[in-house]
Amino acid sequence: MFERFEVLQNADMRQYTTLKLGGTADWLAFPRSAAEIAELFAEAGAAGLPVSVIGHGSNLLVLDGGIRGLVIRIDKNMKNIRREGNRLTAAAGAMLGAVAGFAAENGLTGLEFASGIPGTVGGAVTMNAGAYGGEMKDVVVRVDGILPDGTEMSLSGEEMRFGYRRSAVKDLNLIVTEVTMELAEGDPAAIRAKMSELNRQRAEKQPLDVPSAGSTFKRPEGFYAAALIDQCGLKGYSVGGAQVSMKHAGFLVNSGDSSRDYLELVRTVQRIVRERAGVELEPEIRIIGEEV
């Protein structure tokens, strides 16, 4: 099965997420094009296998029981970036930092905020990733993708219905394959300087030296998740190898090998913040797979 594609069997998902957690995926595919994605869906469908689609795995918790069926990972084989005037078009697997760097090299400003976000362009538009006052909705003018049945679809920036950490991608069950961004001309040195300053601030405030999935919770309306968690006295709180970062309470970091511990920590933080602050924290991370 899947002989025509780059595929691994019984793939250890710890190698494919920034949390370094998770069981094995029955099949893990690395498509080279939108056409291959459609073919993978068709072949999996014919075999009665469920299909999951992921990017770089920087916002993902895979449970210890692993993932049944086929996982399609859109990353290393779909990362081309091209320029047409002030527009950049990036394949969905291109890392956001690489696209921001390409923009800087070409004297295009508007993506500085994204230079330190450790995800793919496809993942970034799916969740309208943002930082330091910028969001993907500010620059995206077109998103191309396919539906699981192979139907091609293109959406304008308006049709993406961007909101806080959301877009129309999930509602439509769209698999993003390419993203076009409208930027503006700028001074390459000034762009680089801004990117360096934002990355300095990020390294100063965030635990970038340990496995994490970035900010674990969405920002509740009227509050900041990290501040709520800190106010509840949870900095440093741990379950097994999972811990609320001492550096930034919005980051739940991992030094162990148990997704169960991490998931229990997520739920414990939610419960305590609900009980003590009366605020419901919604996970920003995506959780997939089976518990043991």
Cα angle value 147/114/92 (rounded, 5°): 25
**Contact yes or no for 172/148 (Cβ under 8 A):** no
**Contact yes or no for 207/253 (Cβ under 8 A):** yes
Helix, strand, coil in percent for the chain, rounding step 5 = 30, 30, 40
**Contact yes or no for 156/141 (Cβ under 8 A):** yes
Spot the catalytic one: 115, 212, 215, 245.
215
Environment class of 282 (CB within 10 Å of its CB; exposed 0-12, middle 13-18, buried 19+): exposed
Structure tokens at 11: 């793939």
Cα angle value 176/36/8 (rounded, 5°): 100
Structure tokens at 235: 């900095």
β-partners of residue 152 are 146
Helix, strand or coil for residue 14?
Answer: helix
β-partners of residue 7 are 29
Spot the catalytic one: 165, 202, 260, 274.
165
To the query of whether residue 52 is one of the catalytic residues in this protein, the response is no
Spot the catalytic one: 36, 43, 178, 284.
284
To the query of whether residue 165 is one of the catalytic residues in this protein, the response is yes
Residue with tokens 């690489």: 98
Residues taking part in catalysis? 165, 215, 284
